[in-house]
Amino acid sequence: MEIRGPVLLPAHREDVELTTVDGLTLVGELAVPENGSPVATLVTLHPLPTAGGFMDSHILRKAAGRLPALADLAVLRFNTRGTTSPRGTSEGAFDGGAGEVFDVAAAVDFVRERGLPRPWLVGWSFGTELALKYGRDHDIEGVILLSPPLHRASAEEVAAWAGDSRRMVVLVPEFDDYLRPDQARVRFSTVPHAHLIAVEGGKHLWVGENQTRRVLTEIVAAVNPDALPLPVEWDGPVDD
Structural domain spans, the chain: 12-224
Comparing CA positions, the residue from 164, 43, 23, 47 lying closest to residue 108 is 43
Q: What is the pLDDT of residue 185?
A: 98
* Statement: residue 97 has pLDDT above 90: yes
Give percent of the chain with pLDDT exceeding 70.
100
Q: How far apart are the two ends of the chain, measured CA to CA in Å?
A: 15
Topology of the domain comprising 12-224: Rossmann fold (3.40.50)
Q: What is the pLDDT of residues 178-205, one digit of tens each?
A: 999 999 999 999 999 999 999 999 999 9
Question: What mean pLDDT, rounded, does the chain reach?
Answer: 97
Task: Tell me the pLDDT tens digit for each residue of 27-68.
Answer: 999 999 999 999 999 999 999 999 999 999 999 999 999 999
Close Cβ partners of 147 (under 8 Å, ≥ 6 residues apart): 124, 125, 128, 171, 172, 173, 176, 178, 179, 204, 205, 206
What pLDDT does residue 122 have?
99
Say what the pLDDT of residue 240 is: 78
CB 163 within 8 A of CB 139: no
